[in-house]
């Protein structure tokens, strides 16, 4: 049979390409002439092999909607005050409404007109008279709420990306999954606990006035005035590690929030050698801070992060210029992380960690080592068996199997696929399965030889008759591999990638690579007996 030159060339091209793509993985330092278009990436290792953390987080989007309703309520309050419209209360009601409690219908009509102009997206429900007051409810419609939720997830994604960038992780993966999930992968991270705290912190910074008229020590949530809230200041004794909590009653309404910050940096107090975070406000924030401190000299100002009081210093004098500092009982690491989250901004809604898989680097190395070991032993066993059972033909099949692995590794590298531990398992399994095509062919050839055919005729007949069966068996194996690929995540996907690529490559090696060896050999040498 003629025409094997192009087949040999094709195989050689594949061998060279695979070697080129595998070079960055196999050598530690690339030679200097290795540049330009030549590939430089090593095979991507999954987190299970290189160690790291895989997080799935849920953004509590409903809280984002509630947050924006609260903002609307505060804004309405200010507008009503500005226009001298009397009202009893403006507050969020449930998950989708703002309720205004007014004294009479007359002002209610005015308010309604104002709301319509200011918030055209809010749907005004019919007025209800209740206990001498007029209740007016504004509802956020489904579409608008959905849009806000969507925005919250996008914002959270951006903020988390910012925080991770500033924290310094190489090659992180941060992506949205489904409606409200965010997947974060941090390869090779040393202190996963710290990273998770940094990522998951809502980091809502608020400056609130302390209400000194209420005794915080005896206050309970029920006994407080309506516009106050009870918070705690946590202090950790650096020497003993003991945590003490001091209650504080503060005004619910935040005077200034973290959105008005432009910068936050860690500094060390030269006097006490204590770390603190220096913050800078933007022009609006600076003006507000100036006004608030001027009006409240002598009062205490609580610095609140996610409902925890960091410190509550007394305002000694008016502070203009837009700088302030947050001190508290924290370590240098805490202060550095606080500065990062303040710089990167707060999350629009709290996030909940649904899944946290952390693999230590030594386990990853161990897995690679054991995977390679299992693979090597598998190869030796299969090679030995095939050589014993099919003699020289068996060695040809073994050569095909080795080509298979080489091509598969090259393809994984070229496609930038991720190799996981189950992925390695798939390759080891393929060592055993890939000789199947050759077994099918060899068994056919043996049958044909038994019928008295010449080696050449038996070989051709063997390949011909086994062809359809080989196609069938590869397609069926591909069906399940493709399904696994579709639904799998992480390690399972790695398995499916290796398996499906391996099956496709195997089709090529068994029908082209090993055949060409037989053809070339039988063409040149006149054989009386086939070593099979």
Asked whether the beta carbons of 496 and 487 are under 8 A apart, the reply is no
- Residue 499 binds to other proteins (criterion: CB under 8 A): yes
Residue 488, interface with other proteins (CB under 8 A)? yes
CB-neighbour burial class of residue 430 (10 A; exposed 0-12, middle 13-18, buried 19+): buried
Instruction: Give the residue carrying structure tokens 């007014």.
Output: 102
Query: Residue with structure tokens 């030159």?
Result: 5
Binding flag, residue 105, other proteins (CB under 8 A): no
| CA of residue 252 relative to chain centroid, distance | 35
Among 316, 486, 525, 528, binds other proteins (CB under 8 A): 486
Q: Is 334 in the site for other proteins (CB under 8 A)?
A: no
Of 388, 451, 525, 529, the one binding other proteins (CB under 8 A) is 388
**φ, ψ of residue 506 in degrees (nearest 5):** -60, -35
Residues binding other proteins: number (CB under 8 A)? 74
Is residue 257 at the binding interface for other proteins, with CB under 8 A as the rule?
Answer: no
Decide: is 243 part of the binding site for other proteins (CB under 8 A): no
DSSP assignment string, 436-495: HHHHHHHHHHHHHHHTT--HHHHHHHHHHHHHHHHHHHHHHHHHHHHHHHHH--HHHHHH
Where does residue 298 rank: exposed (0-12), middle (13-18), buried (19+ CB within 10 A)? exposed
382 contributes a contact to other proteins by CB under 8 A: yes
Contact between 527 and other proteins by CB under 8 A: the answer reads no
Tell whether residue 292 is a contact of other proteins (CB under 8 A). Answer: no
Q: Is 366 in the site for other proteins (CB under 8 A)?
A: yes
Listed ranges 9-17, 21-29, 38-46, 426-434: which one lies at the site for other proteins (CB under 8 A): 426-434
For other proteins, the closer CB: 295 or 354: 354
Inter-axis angle of helices 192-200 and 332-344, nearest 10:
40
Phi/psi zone of residue 225: left (φ > 0), alpha (ψ -120 to 50 degrees), beta?
beta
Q: Please provide the size of the chain in residues.
A: 532
Helix (H) or strand (E) holding 11: helix 5-26
According to the binding rule CB under 8 A, does residue 188 interact with other proteins?
no
Q: Does 179 bind other proteins (CB under 8 A)?
A: no
Among 69, 205, 347, 359, binds other proteins (CB under 8 A): 359
* Residue from 15, 492, 504, 522 binding other proteins (CB under 8 A): 492
* Contact flag: residue 121 with other proteins (CB under 8 A): no
Pair type for strands 228-236 and 308-311: parallel
422 binds other proteins (CB under 8 A): yes
Does 305 sit near other proteins (CB under 8 A)? no
Residue range at the interface with other proteins (CB under 8 A); choices 214-222, 246-254, 287-295, 473-481: 473-481
Stretch that binds other proteins, among 62-70, 104-112, 315-323, 374-382 (CB under 8 A): 374-382
Using CB under 8 A as the binding rule, the residues of this chain from 45 to 74 that contact other proteins are 48, 56, 58
Q: How far apart are CA 520 and CA 3, in angstroms?
A: 10
CB of 237 to other proteins, least distance (A): 18
Beta strands of 272-417 (E only): which ranges?
Answer: 275-281, 301-305, 308-311, 323-326, 351-359
Tokens 């603190």 sit on residue: 276
Region near other proteins per CB under 8 A, out of 22-30, 294-302, 425-433, 504-512: 425-433
Nearest Cα residue to 237 out of 325, 327, 330: 330
Return the range that interacts with other proteins (CB under 8 A); candidates 113-121, 223-231, 289-297, 424-432.
Answer: 424-432
User: Which one, 272 or 487, has the nearer CB to other proteins?
Assistant: 487
Q: Does 491 bind other proteins (CB under 8 A)?
A: yes
Q: Distance from CA of residue 50 to its chain's centroid?
A: 16
Instruction: Rule CB under 8 A: choose which of 59, 250, 458, 484 binds other proteins.
Output: 484
Q: Which of 357, 461, 512, 522 binds other proteins (CB under 8 A)?
A: 357
Residue 321 or 360 with smaller CB distance to other proteins: 360
Rounded Cα distance between 377 and 399, Å, is 16
Applying CB under 8 A, does 319 fall inside the site for other proteins?
Answer: no
**Which of 80, 501 has the CB closer to other proteins?**
501
Q: What is the largest CA-CA distance in the chain?
A: 112
429 binds other proteins (CB under 8 A): yes
């Amino acid at each position: 049979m003629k025409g094997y030159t192009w087949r040999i060339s094709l195989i050689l091209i594949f061998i060279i390409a695979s070697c080129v793509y595998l070079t960055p993985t196999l050598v530690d330092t690339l030679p200097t002439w290795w540049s330009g278009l030549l590939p430089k990436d090593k095979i991507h290792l999954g987190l299970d092999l290189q160690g790291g953390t895989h997080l799935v987080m849920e953004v509590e989007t409903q809280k984002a909607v509630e947050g924006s309703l609260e903002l609307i309520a505060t804004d309405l309050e200010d507008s009503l005050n500005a226009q001298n419209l009397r009202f009893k209360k403006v507050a969020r009601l449930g998950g989708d409404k703002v309720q205004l409690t007014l004294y009479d219908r007359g002002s209610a009509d005015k308010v309604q007109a104002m709301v319509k102009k200011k918030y055209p997206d809010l749907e005004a429900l019919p007025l209800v008279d209740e206990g001498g007051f007029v209740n007016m409810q504004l509802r956020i419609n489904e579409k608008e709420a959905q849009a806000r939720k969507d925005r919250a997830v996008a914002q959270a994604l951006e903020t988390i990306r910012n925080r991770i960038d500033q924290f310094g992780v190489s090659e992180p993966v941060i992506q949205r999954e489904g409606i409200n999930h965010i997947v974060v992968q941090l390869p090779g991270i040393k202190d996963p606990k710290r990273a998770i705290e940094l990522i998951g912190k809502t980091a809502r910074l608020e400056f609130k006035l302390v209400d000194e008229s209420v005794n915080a020590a005896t206050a309970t949530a029920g006994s407080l005035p309506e516009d106050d809230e009870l918070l705690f200041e946590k202090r950790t004794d650096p020497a003993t590690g003991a945590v003490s909590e001091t209650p504080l009653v503060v005004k619910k309404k935040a005077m200034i929030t973290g959105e008005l910050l432009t910068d936050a940096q860690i500094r060390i107090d030269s006097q006490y050698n204590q770390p603190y975070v220096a913050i800078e406000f933007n022009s609006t924030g600076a003006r507000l801070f100036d006004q608030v401190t001027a009006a409240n000299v002598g009062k205490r100002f609580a610095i609140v992060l996610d409902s925890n009081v960091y410190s509550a210093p007394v305002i000694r004098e008016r502070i203009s210029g837009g700088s302030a500092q947050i001190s508290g009982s924290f370590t240098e690491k805490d202060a550095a992380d606080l500065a990062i989250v303040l710089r990167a901004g707060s999350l629009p809604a709290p996030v909940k960690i649904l899944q946290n898989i952390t693999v230590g680097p030594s386990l990853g190395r161990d897995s690679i080592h054991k995977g390679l070991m299992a693979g090597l032993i598998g190869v030796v066993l299969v090679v030995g068996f095939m050589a014993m059972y099919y003699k020289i033909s068996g060695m040809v099949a073994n050569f095909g199997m080795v080509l298979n692995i080489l091509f598969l590794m090259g393809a994984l590298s070229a496609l930038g696929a991720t190799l996981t531990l189950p992925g390695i398992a798939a390759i080891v399994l393929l060592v055993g399965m890939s000789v199947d095509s050759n077994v099918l062919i060899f068994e056919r050839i043996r049958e044909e030889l038994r019928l008295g055919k010449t080696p050449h005729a038996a070989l051709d007949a063997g390949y011909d008759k086994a062809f359809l069966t080989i196609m069938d068996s590869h397609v069926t194996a591909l069906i399940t591999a493709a399904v696994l690929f579709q639904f799998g995540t992480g390690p399972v996907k790695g398995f499916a990638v290796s398996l499906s690529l391996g099956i496709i490559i195997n089709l090529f090696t068994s029908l082209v690579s090993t055949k060409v060896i037989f053809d070339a050999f039988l063409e040149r040498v006149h054989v009386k007996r086939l070593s099979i």
